[in-house]
């Protein structure tokens, strides 16, 4: 990605955001890409290469805790509603009133809050690997794997939120990154979900090399992001969930005219909320990943069927990184969907 097209902006909370921005040609909409963990704006390089030459506007931030963006230590700073507001501030800096939103991994959760709070600012929403997640999603009952997974389904979070996780992963950085970007998705099956297995992998400093879709020169750029900036701040997304800091947003109604979801209120337990209050009314796309052990297609489809039944559903035979593993197909499907949106005012 062209380094000369990166900019910085100070958001209303005082944090500095580093982002890639290429303005749209006349008549073309702008696409907002939001990355997950452990990655950066560089994650979307193959989509930028595809869409930018066609005149689409492109805006790709390093999310809070990553790359050139501020790296606060406090997990409270990583409340998804606040990070969503940060993204809106970045859009406002560039005078972008309405965009197309595309998210992956934790970026999918940030995009979900943008869909709840700022729906009017978007033509549509696309989620990759991880689907839309409603506020208080830990308590949502969507059926299937979600209800059966239990705490074991998030066993790797126990490691990532431990006091020594950042230091251990930075010490064995190739091991950590090659677990995140495995040679094959199946290689790490059984090492992420059960409690204790991720720690065992990282402490063992296990390395297996790079997948065919991640050339060494690109891997070195990914690795250098974490060498320069460290992992500690970015791990606060997990801490924010595990410590419940998002609950102060998920428990009360937002005073915002574009809120399409009433949140759950926690008293002695979670109160029931009418299902229609959770719906995402805008056009939506979900690209599921067959071999993703954590973000399974069945789970994602169950969520989308409940909250956005109009969703266009596509499943690709990839692991967790479809935008990299099968960039050509992802770009093709995204472009078809983008062209289907009503962006006449772009």
For residue 336, how far is the Cα from the chain centroid?
21
pTM of the predicted model, to two decimals?
A: 0.89
The counts of H helices and E strands in the chain are 14, 8
On whether the CB atoms of residues 31 and 91 are closer than 8 A, the answer is no
Neighbouring residues of 107: CB distance < 8 A, sequence distance ≥ 6: 33, 34, 35, 36, 63
3-146+245-340 has which fold? Rossmann fold (3.40.50)
Q: Return per-residue pLDDT of the chain as tens, 346 residues.
A: 899 999 999 999 999 999 999 999 999 999 999 999 999 999 999 999 999 999 999 999 999 999 999 999 999 999 988 999 999 999 999 999 999 999 999 999 999 989 988 999 999 999 999 999 887 654 443 333 434 444 345 678 889 989 999 999 999 999 999 999 999 999 999 898 888 999 999 999 999 999 999 999 999 999 999 999 999 999 999 888 877 666 555 544 333 333 223 222 222 223 333 344 478 999 999 999 999 998 999 989 999 998 998 999 999 999 999 999 999 999 999 999 999 998 876 5
Would you state the pLDDT for residue 233?
96
> Domain extents for the chain?
3-146+245-340
Query: Which of 3, 65, 16, 76 lies closest to 230, judged by CA?
Result: 65
């Amino acid at each position: 990605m062209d380094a000369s097209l990166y900019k910085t902006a100070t958001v209303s909370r005082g944090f500095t955001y580093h982002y890639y921005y290429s303005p749209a040609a006349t008549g073309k909409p702008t696409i907002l890409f939001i990355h997950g963990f452990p990655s950066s704006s560089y994650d979307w390089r193959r989509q930028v290469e595809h869409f930018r030459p066609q005149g689409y506007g492109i805006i790709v931030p390093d999310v809070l805790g990553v790359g050139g963006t501020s790296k606060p230590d406090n997990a409270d700073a990583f409340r998804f509603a606040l990070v969503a507001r940060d993204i809106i501030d970045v859009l406002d800096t560039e005078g972008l009133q309405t965009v197309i939103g595309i998210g992956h991994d934790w970026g999918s959760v940030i995009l979900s809050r943008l869909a709840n709070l700022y729906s009017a600012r978007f033509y549509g929403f696309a989620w990759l690997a991880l689907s839309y997640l409603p506020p208080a999603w830990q308590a949502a009952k969507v059926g299937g794997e979600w209800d059966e997974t239990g705490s074991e389904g998030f066993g790797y979070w126990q490691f990532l939120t431990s006091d020594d996780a950042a230091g251990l992963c930075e010490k064995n950085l190739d091991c950590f990154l090659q677990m995140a970007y495995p040679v094959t998705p199946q290689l790490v099956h059984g090492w992420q979900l059960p409690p204790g297995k991720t720690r065992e992998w990282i402490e063992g400093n296990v390395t297996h090399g790079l997948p065919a879709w991640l050339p060494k020169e690109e891997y070195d750029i990914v690795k250098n992001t974490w060498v320069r900036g460290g992992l500690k701040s970015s791990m606060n997304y997990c801490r924010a969930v595990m410590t419940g800091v998002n609950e102060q947003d998920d428990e009360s109604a937002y005073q915002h005219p574009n809120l399409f979801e009433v949140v759950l209120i926690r008293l002695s337990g979670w109160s029931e909320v009418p299902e229609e209050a959770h719906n995402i009314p805008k056009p939506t796309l979900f690209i599921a990943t067959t071999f993703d052990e954590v973000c399974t297609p069945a789970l994602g489809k169950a969520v989308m069927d409940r909250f956005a039944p109009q969703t266009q559903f596509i499943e690709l035979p990839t692991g967790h990184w479809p935008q990299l593993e099968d960039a050509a197909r992802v770009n093709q499907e995204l472009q078809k969907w983008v062209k289907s949106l009503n962006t006449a005012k772009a």
